[in-house]
């Protein structure tokens, strides 16, 4: 199944013929990637003698009547991984132990990463940074368009949050940062019933900064951020979501990755307590699978949702953190206006009244204010104004407000 396109029923039939004719033990790699129609179970039943199969999914059901011996193939530990890097890359320089610790990969992935790293560096010996870059190329490749890398450009200074929410975010970061020490070194893992993955849920109205905070956390912890588009996975691979999710997690497992399932309601929205239709049953299976993988995933997962009610209780129980993002209050809106209109070179008028903006347009989220601030700048530019004035800001805010479906009273609308 390494050549996935060819791993079908015909391949298995041909393989059975060869096995029957000669003395050979077939090895079928990555059986979890085989299409159902390939008839793996029937193949296994039909072959006499031993067969070896490999799967990235520990509990994968082979569908055979034969007896099965399952061997768990553990990931090499940090010291072995370090030795593998040293050997594969010809004694590279730099922090190899750091590299081995950060990326949970085996020999095959290491070999591929070395080839990629060599291709990128014209001459001279490879160092740990080259190897990490080589590895990242391959992770992106394995994610196969199911998840997109996100470049984070904002900083904590740009963020406006209530103290409460900010405290929760800080706690979550601490939990991730010290996970290794507490769970491994201090062995608290043994006290945990389930996996040690850190699934966090961010919920709240659209535009309150959920995606932004996920990005900032990734940046703070020096993790690669990959955004998984669940709605795409769910609609494009109906009934195959589980397989696609497996792919995402397998690839992410290797890297120093924070997985962001943005607007996860695409999946959770479908979950229902009393399973009626076949579609529902699928959705339930997939959510269960997602939850299970999120937990056993060695990395960090953040799910975001705009719906509070749609969040399943089974999911809530399993969360390491649930952070609720509120719409900004008046003070926060004033600060948001301030932060979002200010740049090093924006020509702002001297007499701006941001409190007036915060008061006149009470229901705006951070994203709404960002839109309005940008629109005001475009208004000023289009009018060849020398400064961005209060009038530009008010007009832009009013337009944004209307697009949000709010109508202003005469008084505030004129302000």
Ligand X SMILES: Nc1ncnc2c1ncn2[C@@H]1O[C@H](COP(=O)(O)OP(=O)(O)O)[C@@H](O)[C@H]1O
Interacting residues toward Mg ion by CB under 5 A: 211
Is residue 96 a contact residue for ligand X (CB under 6 A)? no
Is residue 231 a contact residue for ligand X (CB under 6 A)? no
Close Cβ partners of 203 (under 8 Å, ≥ 6 residues apart): 210, 304, 305, 306, 307, 308, 311, 322, 323, 324, 325
Candidates 102, 112, 370, 392: give the one binding ligand X (CB under 6 A): 370
398, 408 contact by CB (below 8 A): yes
Instruction: Report the residue number, 88 or 364, with the smaller CB distance to ligand X.
Output: 364
Residue 246 contact among ligand X, Mg ion, none, beta carbon within 5 to 8 Å by kind: none
Residue 161 contact among Mg ion, ligand X, none, beta carbon within 5 to 8 Å by kind: ligand X
Residue 209 contact among ligand X, Mg ion, none, beta carbon within 5 to 8 Å by kind: ligand X
Is residue 247 a contact residue for ligand X (CB under 6 A)? no
Instruction: Report the residue number, 138 or 211, with the smaller CB distance to Mg ion.
Output: 211
* Phi then psi dihedrals of residue 14, to 5 deg: -60, -40
Is residue 158 a contact residue for ligand X (CB under 6 A)? yes
Partners of 348 in beta bridges = 388
Q: Which residue is nearest to ligand X (CB)?
A: 366
110, 127 contact by CB (below 8 A): no
Q: Of the ranges 13-21, 31-39, 152-160, 227-235, which one interacts with ligand X (CB under 6 A)?
A: 152-160
Residue 44 contact among ligand X, Mg ion, none, beta carbon within 5 to 8 Å by kind: none
Instruction: Report the residue number, 118 or 406, with the smaller CB distance to ligand X.
Output: 406
Q: Of the ranges 159-167, 231-239, 342-350, 378-386, which one interacts with ligand X (CB under 6 A)?
A: 159-167
The per-residue b/e assignment along 6-28, b for 16 or more CB within 10 angstroms, e otherwise, is ebeeebbeebbeebeeeeeebeb
The contact pattern for ligand X, residues 289-318, with x = CB under 6 A and - = no contact, is ---------------x--------------
Residue 341 contact among Mg ion, ligand X, none, beta carbon within 5 to 8 Å by kind: none
Q: How near is the Cβ of 219 to ligand X at its closest, in Å?
A: 13
Q: What angle do CA 75, 80, 86 make, to 5 degrees?
A: 125
Is residue 203 a contact residue for ligand X (CB under 6 A)? no
Q: Starting at the edge strand that comes first in sequence, how are the strands of the sheet with 198-204 ordered?
A: 147-149, 224-229, 257-262, 300-305, 198-204, 321-325
Q: How near is the Cβ of 202 to ligand X at its closest, in Å?
A: 7
Candidates 203, 211, 244, 389: give the one binding ligand X (CB under 6 A): 211
The contact pattern for ligand X, residues 320-359, with x = CB under 6 A and - = no contact, is -----x----------x-----------------------
Q: What angle do CA 372, 373, 379 make, to 5 degrees?
A: 85
Q: How near is the Cβ of 52 to ligand X at its closest, in Å?
A: 46
DSSP 322-353: EEEEPPP-HHHHHHHHHHHH--SS--B-TT--
Is residue 225 a contact residue for ligand X (CB under 6 A)? no
Output the CA–CA distances (angstroms, integers) from residue 295 to 38, 239, 245, 319, 371, in the order listed: 30, 22, 13, 9, 37
Q: What is the number of alpha carbons within 13 Å of residue 174 lying toward its C-beta?
A: 6
260, 302 contact by CB (below 8 A): yes
SS3 299: coil
- Cα separation, 293 vs 250, in Å, equals 10
Residues binding ligand X: number (CB under 6 A): 17
* Phi then psi dihedrals of residue 225, to 5 deg: -105, 125
Instruction: Report the residue number, 336 or 357, with the smaller CB distance to ligand X.
Output: 336
Binding site for ligand X (CB under 6 A): 158-161, 206-212, 304, 325, 336, 366-367, 370
């Amino acid at each position: 199944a390494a050549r996935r396109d060819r791993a079908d029923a015909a391949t298995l039939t041909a393989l059975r013929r060869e096995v029957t004719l000669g003395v050979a033990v077939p090895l079928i790699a990555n059986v979890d990637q085989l299409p159902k129609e390939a008839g793996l179970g029937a193949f296994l039943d039909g072959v006499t003698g031993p067969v070896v199969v490999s799967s990235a999914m520990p509990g994968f059901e082979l569908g055979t009547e034969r007896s099965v011996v399952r061997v768990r193939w553990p990931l090499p530990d940090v010291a072995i991984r370090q030795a593998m890097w040293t050997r594969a890359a010809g004694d590279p320089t730099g922090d190899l132990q750091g590299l081995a610790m950060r990326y949970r990969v085996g020999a095959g992935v290491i070999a591929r990463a070395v080839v990629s790293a060599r291709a990128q560096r014209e001459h001279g010996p490879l160092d740990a940074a080259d190897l990490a870059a080589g590895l990242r190329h391959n992770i992106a490749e394995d994610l196969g368009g199911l998840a997109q890398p996100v470049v984070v450009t904002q900083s904590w200074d740009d963020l406006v949050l209530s103290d409460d929410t900010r405290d929760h975010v800080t706690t979550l970061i601490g939990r991730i940062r010290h996970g290794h020490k507490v769970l491994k070194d201090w062995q608290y893992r043994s006290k945990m019933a389930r996996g040690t993955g850190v699934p966090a849920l961010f919920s709240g109205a659209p535009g309150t900064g959920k995606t932004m905070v996920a990005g900032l956390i990734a940046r703070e912890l020096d993790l690669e951020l990959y955004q998984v588009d669940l709605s795409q996975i769910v609609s494009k691979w109906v009934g195959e979501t589980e397989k696609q999710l497996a792919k995402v997690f397998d690839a992410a497992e290797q890297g120093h990755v924070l997985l962001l399932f943005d607007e996860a309601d695409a999946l959770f929205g479908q979950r229902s307590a009393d399973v009626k239709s076949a579609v529902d049953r699928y959705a339930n299976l997939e959510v269960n699978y997602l939850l299970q993988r999120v937990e056993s995933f060695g990395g960090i997962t953040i799910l975001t949702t705009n719906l509070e009610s749609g969040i399943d209780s089974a999911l809530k129980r399993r969360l390491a953190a649930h952070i609720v993002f509120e719409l900004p209050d008046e003070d926060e809106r004033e600060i948001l206006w301030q932060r979002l209109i200010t740049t090093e070179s924006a020509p702002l008028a001297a007499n701006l009244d941001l409190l007036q903006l915060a008061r006149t347009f009470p229901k705006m989220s951070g994203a709404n204010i960002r839109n309005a601030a940008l629109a005001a700048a475009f208004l000023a530019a289009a009018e060849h104004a020398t400064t961005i004035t209060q009038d530009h800001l008010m007009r832009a805010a009013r337009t944004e407000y209307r697009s949000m479906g709010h109508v202003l009273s005469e008084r505030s609308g004129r302000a």
